[in-house]
């Protein structure tokens, strides 16, 4: 499997979830075992020797690959969820995104000062969700934050909203 084959397997959905949005549907890449395996192997290879202690996945598509990568590098998995989905005490951040506003939460005790964290989501567009996730994870007081995406839409320049001390890794790039 090559990166070009994986890119070709990702379909475009016009006007989803609202008119004017060209949605990159990764489910077509996830359903092919070779493509899924390639994405998993690439992510594990990138992070395996970086001392990562937790992979934080953003609801919901960040949950698809993050737990497997955590297992692959010997780290734990922590979910970031929408309000009311986590059962214990949480901290939250509200933010604006491409087509509305949202809030995300993490368990207050999910991370600690010694953690080296990768925050993972499926796709980087304008960066609003990930910027909020970085703020949320910083509130938890971790040692170091990395962020990762399976796909980055380069033309939207989403990575420009992230702090300069946070390394951004995207597996696949589209213009």
Could you state, in order of their start, the residue ranges of all structural domains in the chain?
A: 50-174
List, for residues 19-78, the tens digit of each pLDDT value: 988 899 999 999 999 999 999 999 999 999 999 999 999 999 999 999 999 999 999 999
Is the pLDDT assigned to residue 168 strictly greater than 80? Answer: yes
pLDDT category at 139 given cuts 50, 70, 90 is: very high
The fold of 50-174 is Rossmann fold (3.40.50)
> Per residue in 116-154, is it b (16+ CB within 10 Å) or e — as a string?
bbbbbbbbbbbbbbbbbbbebbeebebebbbbbbbbbbe
The pLDDT of residue 99 is 67
The pLDDT of residue 77 is 98
- Residue among 39, 17, 20, 19 at smallest CA distance from 29: 39
List, for residues 84-121, the tens digit of each pLDDT value: 999 999 999 999 876 678 999 999 999 999 999 999 99
Strand extents, DSSP E, the chain: 11-14, 22-25, 54-58, 76-80, 90-97, 100-107, 116-124, 144-153, 167-174
* Catalytic (active site) residue 81: no
Burial class of residue 23, CB neighbours in 10 A (0-12, 13-18, 19+): middle
The pLDDT of residue 98 is 63
Asked if 145 and 137 count as a contact pair (C-beta separation under 8 A), the reply is yes
Residue 3, number of CB atoms within 10 A of its CB:
13
Q: Which candidate in 5, 34, 42, 98 is catalytic?
A: 98
* Catalytic (active site) residue 61: yes
Q: Which candidate in 59, 61, 135, 138 is catalytic?
A: 61
Predicted TM-score (pTM) of this structure: 0.95
pLDDT category at 18 given cuts 50, 70, 90 is: confident
Is the pLDDT assigned to residue 17 strictly greater than 90? Answer: no
Taking the alpha carbons at both ends of the chain, their separation in whole angstroms is 21
The pLDDT of residue 101 is 87
């Amino acid at each position: 499997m090559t990166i070009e084959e994986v890119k070709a397997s990702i379909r475009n959905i016009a006007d989803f979830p609202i008119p004017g949005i060209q949605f990159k549907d990764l489910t077509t890449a996830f359903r092919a075992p070779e493509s899924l395996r390639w994405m998993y192997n690439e992510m594990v290879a990138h992070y395996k020797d970086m001392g990562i202690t937790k992979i934080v996945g953003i609801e919901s598509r960040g949950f698809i690959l993050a737990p497997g990568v955590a297992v692959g590098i010997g780290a734990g998995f922590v979910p970031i969820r929408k309000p009311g989905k986590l059962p214990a005490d949480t901290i939250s951040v509200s933010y604006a995104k491409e087509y509305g506003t949202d809030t995300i939460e993490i368990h207050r005790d999910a991370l600690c000062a010694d953690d080296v964290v990768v925050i993972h989501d499926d796709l980087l567009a304008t960066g609003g969700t990930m910027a909020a996730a970085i703020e949320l994870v910083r509130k938890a007081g971790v040692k170091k934050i990395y962020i990762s995406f399976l796909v980055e839409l380069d033309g939207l320049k989403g990575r420009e909203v992230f702090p300069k001390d946070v390394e951004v890794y995207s597996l696949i790039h589209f213009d």
